[in-house]
Amino acid sequence: MDRRIGVYICHCGLNIAGTVDVAEVVRYAGTLDSVVIFRDYRYLCSDIGQELIKKDIKELGLNRVVVAACSPRMHELTFRNACQDAGLNPYLYEHANIREQCSWPHTDRELATDKAKALVRAAVRRVYYHEPLEVKEAPVNPNVLVVGGGIAGIQAALDIANGEHKVYLVEREPSIGGHMIQLDRTFPTLDCSECILTPKMTEVAQHPFINLLAYSEVEEVSGFVGKFKVKVRKKARFVDESKCTGCGVCEQKCPWKTDSEFEAGLAKRKAIYIPFPQAVPNVATIDKKLCVYFKTGKCRACERFCEERAVDFSQVDQTIEVEVGSIIIATGYDIFDSRLMPQYGYGRYDNILTGLEFERMTSAGGPTGGRVLLKNGKEPESVAIVHCVGSRDKNYHEYCSRVCCMYGLKYAHLLRELTKAEVYEMYIDMRSFGEGYEEFYERVSREGVNFIRGKVAEIAADPVDGKLIVSCTDTVIGKVLRVCVDMVILCPALKARSDTEQVAKTFAINQRADGFFLERHVKLDPVATPTDGIFIAGCCEGPKDIPDTVAQASAAASKVLSLISKGRITLESAIATVDETRCLGCGRCEETCTFHAPKVVAKNGVMVSEINETLCKGCGTCAVVCPSGAMSIRHFTRQQVTSMVEALTEA
């Protein structure tokens, strides 16, 4: 059929026209085969620009369109839609990038123009071979998986469940609550963290649309947006959840102890335990690694004393398979291990605590009943709060952990409220960016706190009285200070969980260079990932405070609700296709494909490969390994690609 190609060159203001001679490129486009119309315009992506193209399609009977402009990531979809509006199949469109790949990186006008001409030539030759492709849709399963039961996961689950869609909330610990349940008072309002979180936790427990899978982990994920299959391993608690009333007698009777994760190591818990009084679900769990029964077969004290007969040593892990249409990952953060900075003496000298440990100390329900105490049981007379431990530091984590300045101020306030201690706050910059934050800083400044602008270099202990000597520079007055205190509180960096790489692999998402999960676009799409249907929210996307975490959780929920509301997704059209006359049925494609799209089946007595069009992503791997050339990718056929290569390599 006669090709009637329309070529449009965009100026993009001066972005392209400032370096590339657009007039020359347009003139050149007109000399190419089958080009019936060639225009340029200042901003083709504008309504007027798009109208130009649509008008030409209708009036000049164009059957192929080329736009040379910015990156296809910006406007390929815009122009494809414009073509579709004008009645032309969107895949009969080709986009040439003469901005990010031409006018932006180069400065020589002549060479840049030559390159732009080559890129246009390549696009025109390629579009000749474009075929119309069908746009198919598939339904979206309205169920949702939320991974992580901290505040982010809880918020996201509630938002979706309130829309009356089913949510599977998977949490690896025995109870939901995450790190937020460990906090005492939250800045800047000093709300009690447990008091604001537990109502939400109860809501989750009682919500008819939330299926809470606590003490469970996601093992395997397969499928794609709209249709994920997830295998969840529900770990054995060795306690029957339906019988346990959370009375706690088993815990009292158990003789075996270890450090409590909830109390950040400041207190012990038993082998059979309920992590904290407001745990959801409020049932006991047996720590298999600590429980003596699993090592020697003895004890069983918990079983004997349980009136409900809820203890069941025969329990095994269960695998539960669920089908969901979308996934929100809200797995939270870990704290930087301060022992990696031995110059601070953490773990070596007494009375040096991390922020999380101090949270447990000031909590009324914590190991000291809310009192700030030294190891010897006395109250400290002086405390130093050290900022940026492992943050803003090329040697550990280059980024700023965002919340430490504010909780450092919070500790200063609490110390002045709860004790008579002299408080020193050693900081580099005070980051109080949020609502009420700067005001809180001012408030704390009026409470007799000593601010010293300098990063602490070393902390040593006095061998005689055990007092801690903190060395820092007051950079403002230019003196090195030795500050003697009873207690030091370190503000360690928030970092990505230690198993982030593993989790990323399971869900086929990526990590950023700083270890946290990669978002689709740092400004314009912070809760989506490059993998369709999988969203991230909260600190797993980077350190942040509770307001931002909750905002992200709701943002991710809204994205999911939008998917569910539409109820269908558009499948990739540029997918693999088999030329059955050439296919040998060798199965290489089936072996190589990570999405399990091709399958060798019998057709009319011959073994040939068949593509599951809903699974195929069009990555092209099968086409590369196919020995007979039977496999090709629609919209990236050999003819299309080689025509571009030949056009580009033409003198």
Partner 1 sequence: MRVEVSSEKISGDFAKKVKEISREDILLCYQCGMCSAGCPIAFAMDLLPNQIIQLVQLGLEEDIAKSRTIWLCASCLTCSVRCPRGLDLAKVMEALRLISLRKNIDYIRLAEISHDALAELPQIVLVSSFRKHTA
Partner 2 sequence: MELSYYPGCTLKTRAKNFEDSAIASMAALGINLKEFPRWNCCGAVYSLADDDLIHQLAPVRDLIRVKEQGQGKVVVLCSLCFNTLKRANLLMRNDAEKRGTLNSFMDEEVDYNGEVEVVHLLEVLRDDIGWKTISDRLKVPLKHLKLAPYYGCTLLRPQEVAIDQVERPTILHQLLQALGAEPIDFPFAAKCCGSFQVVGNREVALESAWNILSSVVSWQAEALVLSCPLCDFNLAGKQEELKQKYREFKGIPTLYFTQLLALALGLDSKICRFELNYQDPQPLLESKGLL
| Positions in the binding site for partner 1 (CB under 8 A) | 343, 388, 392-395, 428-429, 453-458, 471-475, 478-481
State the binding partner of 472 from partner 1, partner 2, none, CB within 5 to 8 A by kind. Answer: partner 1
Integer Cα distance of 386 and 524 in angstroms: 34
Integer Cα distance of 203 and 253 in angstroms: 31
Q: Kindly indicate which of the ranges 407-415, 453-461, 538-546, 594-602 contains the residues binding partner 2, using the contact rule CB under 8 A.
A: 453-461
In sequence order, what are the beta bridge partners of 496?
Answer: 333
Residue among 36, 192, 460, 641 that touches partner 2 (CB under 8 A): 460
State the binding partner of 461 from partner 2, partner 1, none, CB within 5 to 8 A by kind. Answer: partner 2
Cβ contacts of 340-346, under 8 Å, gap ≥ 24 = 340/390, 340/396, 341/389, 341/390, 341/396, 343/457, 343/458, 343/459, 344/386, 344/389, 344/456, 344/458, 344/459, 344/488, 344/490, 345/459, 345/460, 345/461, 345/468, 345/488, 346/490
Sign of CA dihedral 582, 588, 594, 597: positive
Query: Which DSSP category does 210 fall into?
Result: E
Residue in 637, 647, 650 with CA at minimum distance from that of residue 129: 637
Integer Cα distance of 214 and 84 in angstroms: 48
Least distance between partner 2 and beta carbon 343 (Å) = 5
Least distance between partner 1 and beta carbon 517 (Å) = 25
State the binding partner of 581 from partner 1, partner 2, none, CB within 5 to 8 A by kind. Answer: none
Least distance between partner 1 and beta carbon 157 (Å) = 38
Instruction: Verify binding: residue 192, partner 2, rule CB under 8 A.
Output: no
Least distance between partner 1 and beta carbon 481 (Å) = 8
Is residue 510 within 8 A of residue 518, CB to CB? The reply is yes
Integer Cα distance of 546 and 123 in angstroms: 49
Residue among 13, 30, 246, 342 that touches partner 2 (CB under 8 A): 342
The structure tokens 């000597």 sit at: 469
In sequence order, what are the beta bridge partners of 268?
Answer: 259
Instruction: Verify binding: residue 464, partner 2, rule CB under 8 A.
Output: yes
Instruction: Verify binding: residue 316, partner 2, rule CB under 8 A.
Output: no
State the binding partner of 463 from partner 2, partner 1, none, CB within 5 to 8 A by kind. Answer: partner 2
Instruction: Verify binding: residue 139, partner 2, rule CB under 8 A.
Output: no
Instruction: Verify binding: residue 343, partner 2, rule CB under 8 A.
Output: yes
Instruction: Verify binding: residue 394, partner 2, rule CB under 8 A.
Output: no
Instruction: Verify binding: residue 465, partner 2, rule CB under 8 A.
Output: no
Q: Which is nearer to partner 2, 21 or 458 (CB)?
A: 458
SS3 558: helix
Integer Cα distance of 511 and 198 in angstroms: 31
Q: Which is nearer to partner 1, 424 or 507 (CB)?
A: 424
The structure tokens 């450090």 sit at: 259
Q: Which is nearer to partner 2, 308 or 458 (CB)?
A: 458
Q: Kindly indicate which of the ranges 37-45, 135-143, 193-201, 335-343 contains the residues binding partner 2, using the contact rule CB under 8 A.
A: 335-343
Is residue 216 within 8 A of residue 321, CB to CB? The reply is no
Least distance between partner 1 and beta carbon 398 (Å) = 8
Q: Which is nearer to partner 1, 121 or 495 (CB)?
A: 495
State the binding partner of 460 from partner 1, partner 2, none, CB within 5 to 8 A by kind. Answer: partner 2
Where along the sequence are the contacts to partner 2 (CB under 8 A)?
Answer: 341-343, 345, 348, 458, 460-464
